[in-house]
Structure 1
């Protein structure tokens, strides 16, 4: 075992489904159906998985990319983002095939809800939508990114649509709009722009839906060990039921757990995959963490042989007898992502 420059506990997630996504993202649990959903961005696919039955389905949409999904509160289907639009999607195909590569079902969006981005910049590939989030009242946040991640200008934006359909630009000059989530009391909004290797926090007014007083919450983590240096950037995140933030490290093969004070409490590895993209909690009692990953070629040259599990879906048990629960304590609980109220 390689020596470690820290005493932070490390746990290993395991491959759950060898789905070989190109860019797995947007993973979300739906407790009403007990199904897990995520997207493969550039394949424009919505994946649905039933952990109890081990069944899997794939819906494909006629867009350049499907980047973000959120279930709806009180309604079936999803709110989602294509490359330049916020859309309503129909309910997913019920998973029946026990296959990592089931039959692909072709579907179309129900309707377009919003197209706030500069159409020319979308059409010429300068910008596209990426990740998003939902606040406790059901307002939907959806952010864009500059597709040239080395460009000096940050052309991305963060938008919000409220329950009445009113659209508001929350941020501009965004590099890569990524993880977004809220503290259990709804008074803090955590946000990641992946062009800056940090997690930011805002004070959030749940009544008005406004975020103010942006500041740095967490910097890049220490190396995993002496053989695995800190690389990449923060990507997607989720928040558990006691307020801990769990943020994936793009090109660094791990998820970082951070308490509300900004202290790292645990690290979770996705061995054999360099591109952890986003975690979520799901399963019975919300005691399983699911983690999507990206194909090895997106991580760097020569990574295909070194990271054979890239693009697969991972999971790790957070149940009462699990090793990580011994660190988190008996009062820990998971949390489901909020659902869109529109």
Structure 2
């Protein structure tokens, strides 16, 4: 296999995260969770250009998901809240509108992390303790939630350290989830009728004999063949995993230490877009750290992001 990893002309993110490919606009949306100059970003494929916007009063934005049946509204994670912003995708300012829901009023030290919509548009996302409060290995204080419009919020998983990668295999009725501190990828049976998940099992253990392998698994996406692509915080790579065999099929190296997440996109859904971070918490970073990357030549296609119904 001959694949190519290239940086996209993009701003350098402190903590680039949560890529979501919108097929209708041929755009990749993502966030810079702790960025000073940009909180939400849009890469326009046709223009090969990234637009960014800030939201007054909201310095931390953990995810962005386009809202179903809307052209300029997005669900975003702001602390322990999920709100709706209005953005034309170009202007340097986005306007915060209504708050859809919030969680954990008794846990002021927590925030939402990764979130996505399932194949029918239900919201799934989880929380974690704020990084500045200490080592995430110490506290499993997060919860993983589902939100259905008209029904409200339901907690699905408890005692989560760092709620991270999510992916669905609709054909196989499987859901995949990463709690970064566990160094593994878990699989659940997924009921598309009600969105419930059950029968948890580990499909691949990425630890080194039960110990830290030198990275933690971060965000994740899935291709049309059912293989998973796991980003590695501290590992400078994306790991392609066959969840049925529990086997690593491929490692894709990046000139960035903190590889945070991935999503397939492009007109043919065959480009893997990858976000990275340039945070200096872990020492000096490579020059290209924090930029958006694209991987071509993988010989597979992915699935477009699903808009959320909130």
* Same structural fold, with TM-score higher than 0.5 when normalized by the shorter chain: yes
SS at match of 1:241: coil
Which residue is 1:66 aligned to?
61
Cα offset for 1:73?
A: 2.3
Structure 2 residue aligned with 1:100 = none
Shift in CA distance, 203/10, structure 1 to aligned 2, threshold 3 Å: farther
Q: Retained in 2: the 8 A contact 1:23–1:293?
A: yes
Counterpart of 1:89 (choices 82, 85, 95) is 85
Match for residue 28 of structure 1 among 20, 23, 26: 20
Match of 2:192 among 203, 206, 210: 206
User: What number of residue pairs does the alignment pair up?
Assistant: 299
Match of 1:111 in 2: 98
Pair 1:196-2:182 in alignment? yes
Once the 2 structures are TM-superposed, how far is the Cα of residue 106 of structure 1 from its aligned partner? 2.6
Q: Alpha-carbon deviation of 1:192? A: 0.4
Counterpart for residue 257 of structure 2: 274
Q: Is the 8 A contact 2:271 2:301 kept in 1?
A: no
Quote the offset at 1:149 in angstroms: 3.0
Q: How much does 1:338 deviate?
A: 1.9
Please give the per-residue CA displacement for 1:24-82, whole angstroms capped at 9, x wherever unaligned.
00111111011111100012610111122122211101213100111122222211211
Structure 1: give runs of 5+ residues left out of the alignment.
Answer: 1-8, 95-103, 223-228, 326-331
Cα distance between partner residues in 1 of 2:30 and 2:139: 30
Q: Distance in 2 between matches of 1:198 and 1:238?
A: 15
Which residue in 2 is equivalent to 1:314?
293
Offset, 1:156: 0.7
The equivalent residue for 2:154 is 168
C-alpha displacement of 1:230: 4.4
State the SS of the aligned residue for 2:34: helix
Change (3 A) 1:296 1:167: closer
Distance verdict in 2 for CA 1:270–1:63, change over 3 Å:
same
* Residue 259 of structure 2 is aligned to residue 263 of structure 1: no
Cα pair distance change 1:150/1:35, threshold 3 Å:
closer
Secondary structure of the structure 2 residue equivalent to 1:284: coil
**Residue 156 (structure 2) pairs with residue 156 (structure 1):** no
Structure whose CA Rg is larger = 1
Q: State whether residues 112 and 127 of structure 2, in contact with CA within 8 Å, keep that contact through their aligned partners in structure 1.
A: yes
Equivalent pair of 1:184/1:241 in contact (CA under 8 Å):
no
1:235 offset after TM fit, Å? 0.2
2:18 and 2:31 in contact (8 A); partners too: yes
Mapped to 2, the partners of 1:41 and 1:32 lie a distance apart of 25
Greater strand proportion? 2
- The answer to whether the Cα contact below 8 Å between 1:10 and 1:269 also exists between their aligned partners in 2 is no
Shift, 1:263, TM fit: 1.7
Whether contact under 8 Å (2:40, 2:53) holds in the other structure is yes
Q: What secondary structure does 1:308 align onto?
A: coil
Q: CA deviation at 1:296?
A: 4.6
- The answer to whether the 8 A contact 1:290-1:313 is kept is yes
Structure 2 CA distance for aligned equivalents of residues 285 and 294 of structure 1: 27
Once the 2 structures are TM-superposed, how far is the Cα of residue 286 of structure 1 from its aligned partner?
0.6
- Alignment CA distance shift 1:287-1:173 (3 Å): same
Ranges in structure 2 where 5+ consecutive residues have no aligned partner: none
The structure where helix makes up a greater share of residues is 1
TM score, norm. by length of structure 2: 0.90
What is the Cα deviation at residue 113 of structure 1? 0.6
Query: Is 1:64–1:83's contact at 8 Å kept on the other side of the alignment?
Result: no
